[in-house]
Chain A
Amino acid sequence: MEVFVQQLINGLTLGSIYGLIAIGYTMVFGIIGMVNFAHGDVFMLSAFIALIFFMLISAWLGAGLIVLSLFFVLILAMFFTSLWNWTIERVAYRPLRGSFRLAPLISAIGMSIFLMNFVQVVQGPRNKPTPPMLNKSILLIDSATYPVSISYKQIIIIVSTVVLLAAFWFIVQKTSLGRAQRACEQDRKMASLLGIDVDRTISITFVMGAALAAVAGVMYLVLYGVVSFHDGFVPGVKAFTAAVLGGIGSLPGAVLGGLLIGLIEVMWSAYFTIDYKDVAAFCILAVVLVFMPSGILGRPEVEKV
Chain B
Amino acid sequence: MAIDATTPAKRQADMMAALKEAAFAGLITLGLCIPIISWGTRQNIENQLVLDPRWDTVAWAVAIVFVGRFLMALRKQTRDPNKPAVRLLPHGTIGFFQRHSGLFSLFGLGFLIVFPIIAITLAGWGGALKWIDNFGVQILIYVMLGWGLNIVVGLAGLLDLGYVAFYAVGAYSYALLAKNFGLSFWILLPLSGILAAFWGMLLGFPVLRLRGDYLAIVTLAFGEIIRLVLVNWTDFSNGYAGISGIPRPTFFGIPFTAADNGFAAVFGLEFTPLYRTIFLYYVILSLALLTAFVSLRLRRLPVGRAWEALREDEIACRSLGINTTNTKLTAFSLGAMFGGFAGSFFAARQGFISPESFVFMESAIILAIVVLGGMGSLWGCAIAAIAMIGGTELLRELDFLKQVFGNDFDPTKYRMLIFGFAMVVIMIWKPRGLISTREPSAFLKEKKAISADMVQEGHG
Q: What is the interface of chain A, defined by CB distance below 8 A to chain B?
A: 29, 33-35, 45, 48-49, 51-53, 55-56, 76, 80, 83-84, 87, 91-92, 95-96, 99-103, 105-107, 109-124, 126, 128-131, 233, 237, 240-241, 244, 275-276, 278-279, 282-283, 285-286, 289-290, 293, 303, 305
Contacts and interface: CB of A to CB of B under 8 A. Distances in A.
Nearest to A125: B413
Given A101-B212, A285-B217, A107 B40 contact: no
Contacts of B225: 279, 282-283, 286
A289 B215 CA distance: 9
Main secondary structure of the interface of B (DSSP, over half): helix
B124 interface: no
A53 B217 contact: no
A209 B76 CA distance: 33
A57 B272 CA distance: 61
Contacts of A106: 367-368, 371-372, 423, 427
Interface string B21-46: 00000001001101111011111000
A56 B51 contact: yes
A289 B219 CA distance: 11
**What bracket does the count of chain B residues touching chain A fall in?**
35 or more
Interface string B161-186: 00000000000000000000000000
Contact of A111 (B221, B372, B424): B424
B228 A123 contact: no
Contact of A55 (B49, B375, B419, B422): B49
Contact of B213 (A105, A130, A303): A105
A115 B32 CA distance: 12
B416 A117 contact: yes
A282 B315 contact: no
Residue of A33, A105, A106 ringed by the most chain B CB atoms within 10 A: A106
B352 interface: no
B420 to A, nearest CB: 3
B64 interface: no
B361 interface: yes
Given A34-B213, A290-B206, A237 B220 contact: yes
Given A107-B427, A109-B423, A286-B207, A80 B367 contact: no
Main secondary structure of the interface of A (DSSP, over half): helix
Contacts of B42: 124
A114 B51 CA distance: 23
Given A55-B49, A83-B31, A100-B432, A110 B213 contact: no
Given A48-B36, A110-B420, 20 more contacts: A35-B217, A52-B35, A52-B41, A76-B35, A80-B35, A80-B36, A83-B28, A95-B428, A100-B432, A106-B368, A109-B423, A112-B364, A116-B416, A117-B417, A119-B36, A123-B41, A233-B360, A278-B224, A289-B207, A293-B209
Contact of A96 (B222, B371, B427): B427
A45 B360 CA distance: 19
Contacts of B36: 45, 48-49, 52, 80, 119, 122-123
24 contacts: A35-B216, A48-B35, A49-B35, A55-B49, A83-B31, A99-B431, A105-B213, A106-B367, A106-B371, A109-B364, A109-B423, A111-B424, A114-B420, A118-B417, A237-B220, A240-B217, A241-B221, A279-B232, A282-B221, A283-B225, A286-B207, A286-B222, A290-B210, A293-B214
Contacts of B375: 102
A282 B222 CA distance: 7
B421 interface: yes
A51 to B, nearest CB: 7
Given A52-B35, A130-B49, A293-B210, A113 B41 contact: no
Contacts of B220: 237
Interface in B192-215: 206-207, 209-210, 212-214
Contacts of B48: 131
Contact of B32 (A84, A124, A129): A84
B424 A107 contact: yes
Given A107-B427, A110-B368, A285-B221, A276 B40 contact: no
Interface string B214-245: 10111011101100110010000000000000
B107 interface: no
Contacts of B212: 101
B414 interface: yes
B148 interface: no
A233 B159 CA distance: 19
Residue of A34, A52, A120, A283 ringed by the most chain B CB atoms within 10 A: A52
